[in-house]
């Protein structure tokens, strides 16, 4: 394990991230250090290094592939600078005059359940919720060329032996004794059973990613005789997905001569836990005030205009078994008092935006409203913008989607291609499905319980510029179809609960988004 950490650090020092698959490929050579040095040397000679070192890239180099073929391989993400740079502890000299202090904050909340919750938990509320989900997502699917002409499921029998396109909500997915897959779909007009043959490899791969309660499109052939007339044989599975951008969102957006405006993204402080990294957070606050760092880092600190917190400010009480044994503050109100003490040290010119998470003192059901007044009254001293979870807002014209990330737990459990080590991949899946928590939670068995509001606030109807999450405690940064993806990790060390779940956090990393270019600079404080 120590050797793995050493190799990972070498790649980080070279401004690259190495994936677990790539690390395994290096380890399989029998000489991890030598193989890693060979790959690193190869990348150092390239005019443009990949940000993410994938298993495929490593295997091609180890096979002795040509230099040209490696250079032609596009990086998984095109983000220019996502590796964390370390803040030195030396005291900064000189007067700190932050340019961000002369800039007025521009914050507009676009979508938020706060103040609009009307759920009473009745059967009618659940029906309304799922109808709204279906309507919003089916409307997005119908805009796709490959779903044009989709017919209602109730009229499928009229197309016996023909190929049709339908859009439905997934009621169930199961494997047959012969290892084929059956997916049951529903729309307001009826139900359908679709069949995926085990020999259709690409289709089986797609079908393995289908989860219950999401809305998908299907192209299928309707059975041609009485025995099969109620069965549809799948040709393709389509998700709502986000459109491919006509041009990259991070190119040509900065006006000539304009100065950077940064948003610092953090989450999962877990104040109150004995694992809260108080020293690292204090170093972050000190840097934000211009009291530490080299001249370049202080200059960056002076251009931070926003601090966006994506949930779990406190560790809470009774959230997981035996949590009280790992708390240093056992009263949740006092935990928030400590949060206020920390956040009051943020410079006055930095606008703080706070969204809750599953450890915070709000209802556990998503969407979650903003922190209540009885909890957040002391926050008034620094006048934060309190929003719900999720929340869509504009910061200086850049559209943010802030979501804590509890719905990722169910996605990771249901989709074998996902894990908790790569926090970007569940974010991509959410964008493809256009939903933050498609698997309906309690009492249906999911970990992310959903409140039956009249509107499904978890549908990603409008495409964001920046998608900011936390919850997984693992730093991740990437891009998907022009959307910047940032998981801001945590300021908490590894707890016993994380150990049981195999979570290895990457604490103390603060990503900074330049709102002109939507590029990221990450700084490490732990």
Give the C-alpha distances (Å, rounded to integers) separating 73 from 328, 425, 494, 499. Answer: 49, 19, 36, 36
Q: Summarize the confidence of residues 375-382 as an average pLDDT.
A: 88
Two tokens at 473? 């405690």
Is pLDDT of 443 > 60? Answer: no
Which CATH number goes with the domain that contains 220?
Answer: 2.40.50.140
Is pLDDT of 215 > 50? Answer: yes
Tell me: do 228 and 149 sit in the same domain: yes
* pLDDT score of 53: 77
Which CATH number goes with the domain that contains 273?
Answer: 3.60.21.50
**Residue at 96 is within a domain:** no
Which region, left, alpha or beta, applies to residue 279 given φ > 0 means left and ψ of -120 to 50 means alpha?
A: alpha
**Residue at 234 is within a domain:** yes
* pLDDT score of 223: 86
* pLDDT score of 51: 61
Q: Which residue has the higher pLDDT, 38 or 63?
A: 38
Q: Return the minimum-mean-pLDDT range out of 245-249, 506-510, 511-515.
A: 245-249
Q: Which residue has the higher pLDDT, 65 or 86?
A: 86
* pLDDT score of 83: 65
Spatial contact of 478 and 489, defined as CB atoms under 8 Å apart:
no
Using one digit for the tens of pLDDT, what is the confidence trace for 104-124? 999 999 999 999 998 888 889
Query: Token pair 């190119």 is at which residue?
Result: 251
Tell me: do 456 and 382 sit in the same domain: yes
Give the C-alpha distances (Å, rounded to integers) separating 326 from 269, 320, 489, 499. Answer: 15, 11, 20, 13
* pLDDT score of 319: 86
Cα–Cα dist 117/132, whole Å: 15
Q: What percent of the chain has pLDDT over 90?
A: 63
**Residue at 489 is within a domain:** yes
Cα–Cα dist 457/451, whole Å: 10
**Residue at 393 is within a domain:** yes
Two tokens at 24? 């395994």
* pLDDT score of 423: 94
Is pLDDT of 357 > 70? Answer: yes
Spatial contact of 312 and 359, defined as CB atoms under 8 Å apart:
yes
* pLDDT score of 76: 31
Q: Summarize the confidence of residues 367-382 as an average pLDDT.
A: 91
Q: Where residue 472 falls among pLDDT bands split at 50, 70, 90? A: very high
Q: Summarize the confidence of residues 71-99 as an average pLDDT.
A: 57
288 lies in which domain range?
A: 107-118+260-524
HSE, CB side, 13 Å, CA atoms: give it for residue 196.
24
**Residue at 440 is within a domain:** yes
Which region, left, alpha or beta, applies to residue 173 given φ > 0 means left and ψ of -120 to 50 means alpha?
A: beta
Cα–Cα dist 442/519, whole Å: 38
Tell me: do 282 and 420 sit in the same domain: yes
119 contacts: CB under 8 Å, gap ≥ 6: 125, 451, 452, 453, 454
Tell me: do 332 and 469 sit in the same domain: yes
Q: Summarize the confidence of residues 305-327 as an average pLDDT.
A: 92
Is pLDDT of 81 > 60? Answer: no
* pLDDT score of 55: 77
* pLDDT score of 121: 82
* pLDDT score of 90: 57
Give the C-alpha distances (Å, rounded to integers) separating 342 from 330, 351, 390, 402. Answer: 18, 15, 24, 22
Tell me: do 215 and 279 sit in the same domain: no
Q: Where are the alpha helices (DSSP H) in 379-460?
A: 407-414, 424-433
* pLDDT score of 26: 87
Using one digit for the tens of pLDDT, what is the confidence trace for 120-156? 888 899 999 999 999 999 999 999 999 999 999 999 9
Q: Which residue has the higher pLDDT, 174 or 13?
A: 174
The pTM for the full model equals 0.82
Domain-ending residue, one of 45, 72, 99: 72
Is pLDDT of 257 > 80? Answer: no
Neighbours of 450 (CB within 10 A): 26
Q: Return the minimum-mean-pLDDT range out of 337-346, 373-382, 516-525.
A: 373-382
Give the C-alpha distances (Å, rounded to integers) separating 242 from 141, 143, 351, 434, 520. Answer: 10, 11, 30, 7, 22
Which CATH number goes with the domain that contains 67?
Answer: 1.10.8
Tell me: do 62 and 114 sit in the same domain: no
**Residue at 125 is within a domain:** no
Tell me: do 361 and 479 sit in the same domain: yes
Angle at 171 between CA 165 and CA 175, to 5 degrees: 90
Q: Return the minimum-mean-pLDDT range out of 52-56, 175-179, 288-292.
A: 52-56
Cα–Cα dist 162/461, whole Å: 32
Q: Which of 27-41, 50-64, 66-80, 222-236 has the highest average model confidence (pLDDT)?
A: 27-41
Cα–Cα dist 409/419, whole Å: 9
**Residue at 79 is within a domain:** no
Tell me: do 173 and 298 sit in the same domain: no
**Residue at 368 is within a domain:** yes
Q: Which residue has the higher pLDDT, 246 or 37?
A: 37
Q: Return the minimum-mean-pLDDT range out of 250-264, 306-320, 418-432, 434-448.
A: 250-264
Q: Which of 428, 445, 459 is nearest to 366 (CA)?
A: 459
Does residue 204 sit in helix, strand or coil? helix
* pLDDT score of 118: 86
Q: Which residue has the higher pLDDT, 496 or 286?
A: 286
Q: Which residue has the higher pLDDT, 86 or 68?
A: 86
* pLDDT score of 500: 83
Is pLDDT of 260 > 80? Answer: yes
Tell me: do 50 and 190 sit in the same domain: no
Two tokens at 499? 């150990």
Tell me: do 190 and 297 sit in the same domain: no
Is pLDDT of 439 > 70? Answer: yes
Domain-ending residue, one of 208, 238, 268: 238
| 107-112 vs 163-175, strand pairing mode | unpaired
Give the C-alpha distances (Å, rounded to integers) separating 269 from 382, 442, 452, 482, 501. Answer: 18, 26, 29, 29, 19
Q: What percent of the chain has pLDDT over 70?
A: 87
In sequence order, what are the beta bridge partners of 509? 524
Domain-ending residue, one of 238, 268, 286: 238
Is pLDDT of 339 > 90? Answer: yes
Domain count, the chain: 3
Tell me: do 429 and 477 sit in the same domain: yes
Tell me: do 359 and 466 sit in the same domain: yes
* pLDDT score of 496: 82
């Amino acid at each position: 394990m120590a050797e793995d950490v050493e190799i990972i650090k070498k790649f980080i020092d070279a401004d690259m991230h190495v994936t677990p698959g790539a690390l395994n490929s290096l380890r399989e050579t029998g000489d991890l250090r030598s193989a890693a040095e060979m790959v690193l040397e190869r990348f150092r000679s390239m005019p443009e290094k990949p940000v993410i070192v994938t298993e495929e890239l490593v295997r091609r180099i180890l096979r002795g592939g040509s230099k040209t073929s490696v250079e032609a391989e596009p990086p998984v993400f095109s983000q220019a600078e996502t590796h964390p740079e370390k803040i030195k502890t030396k005291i900064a000299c000189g007067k700190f005059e932050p340019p961000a202090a002369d800039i007025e904050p521009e914050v507009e909340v676009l979508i938020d359940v706060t103040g609009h919750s009307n759920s009473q938990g009745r059967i009618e509320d659940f029906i309304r919720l799922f109808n709204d989900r279906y309507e919003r997502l089916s409307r997005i699917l119908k805009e796709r060329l490959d779903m044009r002409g989709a017919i209602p499921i109730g009229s499928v029998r009229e197309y016996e032996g023909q190929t049709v396109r339908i859009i439905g909500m997934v009621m169930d997915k199961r494997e047959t004794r012969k290892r084929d897959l059956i997916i049951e779909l529903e729309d307001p007009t009826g139900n359908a059973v679709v069949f995926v043959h085990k020999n259709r490899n690409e289709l089986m791969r797609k079908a393995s990613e289908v989860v219950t309660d999401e809305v998908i499109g299907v192209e299928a052939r309707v059975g041609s005789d009485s025995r099969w007339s109620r069965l549809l044989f799948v040709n393709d599975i389509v998700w709502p997905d986000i459109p491919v951008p006509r041009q990259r969102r991070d190119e040509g957006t900065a006006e000539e001569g304009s100065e950077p405006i940064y948003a610092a993204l953090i989450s999962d402080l877990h104040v109150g836990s004995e694992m809260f990294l108080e020293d690292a957070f204090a170093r972050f606050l000190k840097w934000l005030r211009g009291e530490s760092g080299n001249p370049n880092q202080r200059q960056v600190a002076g251009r931070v205009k926003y601090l966006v917190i994506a949930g779990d400010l406190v560790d809470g009480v009774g959230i997981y078994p035996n949590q009280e044994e790992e708390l240093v503050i056992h009263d949740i109100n006092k935990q928030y008092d400590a949060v206020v003490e920390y956040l009051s040290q943020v410079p006055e010119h930095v606008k703080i935006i706070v969204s809750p998470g599953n450890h915070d003192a709000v209802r556990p059901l998503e969407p979650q409203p903003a922190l209540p007044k009885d909890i957040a009254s002391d926050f008034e001293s620094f006048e934060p913008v309190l929003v719900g979870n999720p929340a869509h807002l504009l910061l200086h014209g850049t559209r943010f989607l802030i979501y804590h990330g509890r719905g990722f737990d169910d996605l990771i459990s249901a989709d074998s291609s996902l894990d908790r080590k790569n926090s970007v991949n569940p974010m991509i899946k959410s964008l493809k499905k256009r939903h933050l928590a498609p698997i309906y939670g309690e009492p249906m068995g999911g970990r992310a319980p959903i409140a039956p509001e009249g509107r499904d606030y978890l549908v990603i109807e409008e495409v964001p510029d920046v998608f900011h999450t936390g919850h997984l405690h693992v730093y991740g940064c990437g891009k998907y179809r022009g959307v910047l993806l940032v998981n801001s990790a945590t300021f908490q060390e590894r707890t016993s609960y994380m150990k049981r779940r195999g979570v290895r956090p990457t604490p103390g990393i603060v990503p900074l988004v330049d709102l002109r270019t939507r590029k990221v600079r990450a700084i490490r404080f732990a």
